[in-house]
Structure 1
């Protein structure tokens, strides 16, 4: 959501958005998010395992299953960070396929590149530093786009979804894996307690960075709920849009098609 802030002294109108629970100028958010992910990049994988108890691997496996990727296809793993989905897609599409691991943050991209190369994943994977709102790819280019645990950090989510729609081929599909809103009230209370009390402490102990992990918790709460995000995809032109609640709605996978 974007608000309008008027500076009464200069009569200058500025667009604002959220950075966690903080209201910031829209032009400032990208740099603030960059600072967070530059800080957490080297500890990102281990913190994912600790924070989710390893369940994030099951969420990502479900995403791969729903993506329907096939040999020879062209896949964009947007905001792909350390490359978990890219690694799986690389094996599926094979030598005749093509996977682009794109991330706006160069530190995350470097960690992902090093990790995949250490695992012998080369040849059909390419790395691109890219802004989701202005994707540097031709129209109708990819068979499938995934964006996992990234969209909530994007400044203009509607613009990013439209950009993804543009670069998808007709018949292509977009899958958005993201933290969402728990569907059971008792779970929501437990989740809040975990996010705002335990998570920052883990960030302090493991990564010596409680503030970045506090932001990550806050960004989840500010992200659109399941139905709102579905509507945003519909508005961008996607069809047959649906979502799957995972782990009681703590995470949701949205999928839509371009026809």
Structure 2
């Protein structure tokens, strides 16, 4: 059902880009349904862990429709959100226009960029976040290295994504939900079951919270921590450069 999105290199990037182009307009709505609205709470937790203060610089990688970027900017940070799917950025900019009417002083810019080749110098940002994006990259380790590269010394790196529960029964139930439940939502509300079946396919090839924590330590991150939700179905990886 997933359409074989998990392939190597540039071909995977092309397929994933096409996937997000197709679902961009309904992305937020289906995220609310499949997570029962909890993704919004988890993203607020990411923003708190990022700990940005007014005048600091924040980068939100794979920003999608921009909700996490807007949380960082609302905390007063000079924020840039980057994504490689123009359709997702179109939605993000439309949302920003509506938010700017209420919060006209937000310092937030969205730009098109490849997470594996971020167009920024080393050590530019006080905090770098990525929500539900690292798992989708053609090379997640290279993506994490790029995030580390553009983070300032003592800056915070915060990664939110689906997780893999340690409890075997809970993991099986969660994977059944991803295999059957979530694609049904995609079919009913987006007309595209395959796009949402991809979540399980990508997660099966992703080391999730334990692997990301190990990779952060290999990059010499300090204060590495994992914050898990609902027994590990979602998790935040945190580290300090």
TM-score when normalising by structure 2? 0.93
Q: Does the 8 Å contact 1:20/1:219 carry over to 2?
A: no
- Of the three residues 152, 156, 176, the one matched with 2:139 is 156
- Of the three residues 118, 122, 126, the one matched with 1:139 is 122
Which residue is equivalent to 1:103?
83
Q: Does the 8 Å contact 1:21/1:219 carry over to 2?
A: no
Q: Indicate how the Cα distance of structure 1 residues 245 and 84 shifts in structure 2: closer, same or farther if over 3 A, else same.
A: same
- Of the three residues 81, 95, 99, the one matched with 1:115 is 95
Q: Does the 8 Å contact 1:20/1:218 carry over to 2?
A: no
Structure 1 residue ranges (4+ consecutive) displaced by more than 3 angstroms after TM superposition: 19-23
Distance 1:102 1:170 in 2: 21
What whole-Å deviation, never above 9, does each CA across 1:150-190 have from its counterpart, x for those lacking one?
A: 00000111111111111111110100001110132232222
State the Cα distance separating 1:86 from its structure 2 match.
Answer: 1.4
Shifted more, 117-126 versus 191-200: the winner is: 117-126
State the Cα distance separating 1:255 from its structure 2 match.
Answer: 0.7
- Of the three residues 184, 191, 197, the one matched with 2:167 is 184
Distance 2:210 2:146 in 1: 20
Structure 1, gaps ≥5 residues long: 1-18
Distance 2:113 2:175 in 1: 32
Which residue is equivalent to 2:68?
85
Q: Does the 8 Å contact 1:145/1:168 carry over to 2?
A: yes
State the Cα distance separating 1:22 from its structure 2 match.
Answer: 5.9
Is 2:178 aligned against 1:195? yes
Distance 1:124 1:107 in 2: 22
Which residue is equivalent to 2:216?
233
Structure 2, gaps ≥5 residues long: none
Is 2:7 aligned against 1:24? yes
- Of the three residues 69, 72, 76, the one matched with 2:59 is 76
Distance 1:20 1:217 in 2: 12
TM-score when normalising by structure 1? 0.87
Distance 2:172 2:7 in 1: 28
Shifted more, 118-127 versus 215-224: the winner is: 118-127
State the Cα distance separating 1:67 from its structure 2 match.
Answer: 1.4
Which residue is equivalent to 1:168?
151
Distance 2:116 2:84 in 1: 10
Secondary structure of the residue aligned to 2:165 is coil
**Which has the greater radius of gyration?**
1
Q: Does the 8 Å contact 2:6/2:202 carry over to 1?
A: no
Q: Indicate how the Cα distance of structure 1 residues 170 and 20 shifts in structure 2: closer, same or farther if over 3 A, else same.
A: farther
> For the aligned residues, what is the CA RMSD?
1.7
State the Cα distance separating 1:236 from its structure 2 match.
Answer: 2.4
Which residue is equivalent to 2:230?
247
- Of the three residues 35, 43, 55, the one matched with 1:52 is 35
Distance 1:124 1:58 in 2: 22
State the Cα distance separating 1:238 from its structure 2 match.
Answer: 1.8
Q: Indicate how the Cα distance of structure 1 residues 211 and 20 shifts in structure 2: closer, same or farther if over 3 A, else same.
A: closer
